[in-house]
Structure 1
Amino acid sequence: MFDKAELVGIARKARSRAPMETLEQIDVTTELGLDGDYRGKLRRRQVTILAEEDWQAACGELNRDDLPWTERRANLLVRGITLPRIKGSTLSIGNVIFEITGETDPCNRMDDVAMGLQNALMPDWRGGVTCRVIKGGTIAIGDPVGTKM
């Protein structure tokens, strides 16, 4: 496995259905979530976080190792940690703290990416978690990730 849990991907979109833009670092605020991401004003779904291991498991079910994580349209990709599956749990990335507000339900758009992907993302919250920001800051690729239940 990996020595430590870390942030391995950052992505945002300017509006619904817009292409995902990947970044090396980003500012995160309690008011707007990720700087420049359209979803930030939605208090309960400011940021979506996906575990790389969950993405790989879903893609593995479809025998598709060629799908980039950004096709999931999540904001942050973490590696080496099991995401909390309890609302109200917290997740830290660098100095930023997120509160888990729920599961990111896979939508039928996932089947447009690869037939069967929506169902492959459904078990065990594989589609990731939705969060709100409770302490802002700047995060960057390689930042450590931790949880508190």
Structure 2
Amino acid sequence: MLNPASPLSRLFAAPVRPGVVRWIGLRPERRAPMVTVPHATLDPGAGLQGDRYRNSSTRTRQVTLVAEEDLRAIASYLGRDAVPPEQLRRNIVVSGLNLRALKGARLQLGSAVLAITGECHPCSRMEETLGTGGYNAVRGHGGLCARILAGGEVALGDAVLRLDGEAPGA
């Protein structure tokens, strides 16, 4: 953990421009097509309502987020114009902020509050889904996992805000 008085710690806690929710998707069953929705309910005990992934023991992966900018990077690495968010199977696509700068932070999405718990690493299915090179294209661009601290609703167009007063990793 960083010394809270260090210059690096102060940089980590520097303001972050708000982002915007661009896409929301639910995974109803393993390997089933994702369902795109305009809004979703986040529940600290049950996870993202309508999503099959619960992780009831640690709750470290109740919600997954990826940046729209990372989807564009992945597409570029694969020589494509675009990679649809359904192919990565993340729940929420955001834009306008660097998600990796928020590791360990708390975020507000709509009326819900999330704690970022870690990176969302690619799985071997990326080769199956995206084709040869898919796994390596997603490395470092797979988004973040989060735990729901306070339930609420999130909708397309909602702001994504890092809650001030807490530096990542604090």
TM-score relative to the length of structure 2: 0.79
What is aligned with 1:36? 50
- The structure with the largest alpha-carbon Rg is 2
Give 1:86 shift: 6.0
Cα distance in structure 2, aligned partners of 1:143 and 1:49: 14
Asked whether the equivalents of residues 40 and 47 of structure 1 are also in contact (C-alpha less than 8 Å), the reply is no
Q: Partner of 1:81 in structure 2?
A: 97
* Deviation of the 1:52 alpha carbon: 0.5
Q: Residue type matched to 1:49 in 2?
A: L
The answer to whether the Cα contact below 8 Å between 1:85 and 1:103 also exists between their aligned partners in 2 is: no
Q: CA RMSD in A?
A: 1.7
Q: Would the aligned equivalents of 1:50 and 1:78 in 2 still touch at CA under 8 Å? A: yes
Structure 1 unaligned regions, length at least 5: none
The answer as to 2:63 corresponding to 1:64 is no
Q: Which amino acid aligns with 1:34?
A: L
Q: Distance in 2 between matches of 1:85 and 1:20?
A: 27
Displacement of 1:67 in angstroms is 2.5
Q: Which residue of 1 aligns with 2:14?
A: none
Gaps of 5+ in 2: 1-16
CA change 1:99–1:13 in 2 (3 A) is same
Question: Runs of at least 4 residues of structure 1 off by over 2 A?
Answer: 84-88
Answer yes or no: is 1:117 the counterpart of 2:131: no
Task: Give the counterpart of 2:31 among 17, 22, 26.
Answer: 17
Identity rate, percent: 37
Distance 1:87 1:133 in 2: 15
Aligned-pair distance for 1:66?
Answer: 3.6
The number of residues matched between the two structures is 145
Instruction: Give the stretch that moved more between structures: 88-97 or 25-34.
Output: 88-97
